[in-house]
């Protein structure tokens, strides 16, 4: 059977459009902050544009980045699970974002959608899509969790009934901080090495994930952005941000790929919160909202 054509330019055009749509919407959601745009090039090939918001009205720090990089061989983080691809040239492109709000009642969120293609002369290209979105609340609300996962399920449904439960479970497993034995947040979707629907339909699925991010996140932000908070909530938020840092530096594939492929360090690490804290052997008091985060929300469960 003849392999379906791979349209790299169509994928790149979608990523540029998504990058623009998301930054415009998040600026409007913030109400006062704007993204500083920082175009960059990579000496080994490619480049991108990082857009970073610092100390807006809603977001303390946030970044939305587009990148398109290429090279003569895949870095170890990408070829470790696919050793047959070692030595192939590659292109990798995608959009990623992390938003860290000021208000502890507004969750941190992460989105990534990406495309890889590995090629060599005389052989068919090997390609795949990956990505997903996840939510990291500091104070939990069942209503928000249900809405988030309803949108995650909606992103998957037109492409098959099995995708949401499969990629929801993968997200729960992937965003697990192994050395703490706890989830980073309440999950969402995570998928990688995805090409099983053929190029056109796999691309359509990835687009659906990207397009469902804003409808998933914006209503939660609007519900929680004016919630009163004090020093206690802020200190707990900073403590939980420390967990976010630990995961990204120890386990995150995107961070490892970026660093190993010679990516731009400032853009790779823009996902880090501007402030975080660590406390020795901390345990929340029983019966508090902080304890409820651990007992009720940081537990893999079916929300829809």
Which residues are marked as active site? 110
Which among 61, 66, 57 is positioned nearest to 28, based on CA atoms?
Answer: 57
Residues in the chain, overall count: 304
Residue 13 in tokens: 């055009």
- 179 annotated binding-site participant: yes
- 296 annotated binding-site participant: no
119, 90 Cβ separation under 8 angstroms: yes
Q: Give the C-alpha separation, 255 to 43, whole Å.
A: 18
- 264 annotated binding-site participant: yes
- 258 annotated binding-site participant: no
Contacts of 223 (CB under 8 A, 6+ apart): 141, 143, 144
- 263 annotated binding-site participant: yes
- 153 annotated binding-site participant: no
- 110 annotated binding-site participant: yes
Which among 182, 179, 204, 185 is positioned nearest to 194, based on CA atoms?
Answer: 204
Q: For residue 99, which phi and psi values (nearest 5 degrees)?
A: -125, 125
- 184 annotated binding-site participant: no
Residue 203 in tokens: 């691309």
- 227 annotated binding-site participant: no
Burial annotation 40-51 (CB, 10 A radius, 16+ → b, else e): eebeebbbbbbb
**Binding-site residue set for a divalent metal cation:** 100, 110, 149, 179
**Binding-site residue set:** 96, 100, 110, 112-114, 149, 179, 262-264
**Binding-site residue set for substrate:** 96, 112-114, 262-264
């Amino acid at each position: 059977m003849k392999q379906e054509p791979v349209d790299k330019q169509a994928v790149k055009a979608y990523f540029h459009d998504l990058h623009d749509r998301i930054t415009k919407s998040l600026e409007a959601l913030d109400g006062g902050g704007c993204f500083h745009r920082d175009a960059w090039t990579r000496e080994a090939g490619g480049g991108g544009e990082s857009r970073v918001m610092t100390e807006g009205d809603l977001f303390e720090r946030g970044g939305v980045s587009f990148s398109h990089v290429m090279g003569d061989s895949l870095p170890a983080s990408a070829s470790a699970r696919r050793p047959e691809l070692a030595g192939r040239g590659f292109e990798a492109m995608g959009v990623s974002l992390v938003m860290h709000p000021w208000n502890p009642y507004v969750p941190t969120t992460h989105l990534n959608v990406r495309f890889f293609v590995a090629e060599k002369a005389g052989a068919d290209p090997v390609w795949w899509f990956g990505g997903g979105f996840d939510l990291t609340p500091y104070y939990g609300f069942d209503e928000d969790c249900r809405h988030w996962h309803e949108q995650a399920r909606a992103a998957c449904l037109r492409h098959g009934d099995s995708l949401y439960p499969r990629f929801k479970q993968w997200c729960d497993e992937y965003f697990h901080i192994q050395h703490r034995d706890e989830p980073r947040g309440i999950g969402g979707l995570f998928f990688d090495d995805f090409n099983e629907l053929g190029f056109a339909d796999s691309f359509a699925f990835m687009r659906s994930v990207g397009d469902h991010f804003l409808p998933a996140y914006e209503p939660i932000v609007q519900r929680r952005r004016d919630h009163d908070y004090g020093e206690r909530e802020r200190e707990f938020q900073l403590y939980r941000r420390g967990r976010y840092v630990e995961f990204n530096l120890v386990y995150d594939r995107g961070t490892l790929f970026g660093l190993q492929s010679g990516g731009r360090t400032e853009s790779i690490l823009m996902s880090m919160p501007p402030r975080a804290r660590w406390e020795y052997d901390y345990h929340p008091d029983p019966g508090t909202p902080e304890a409820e985060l651990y007992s009720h929300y940081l537990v893999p469960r079916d929300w829809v």
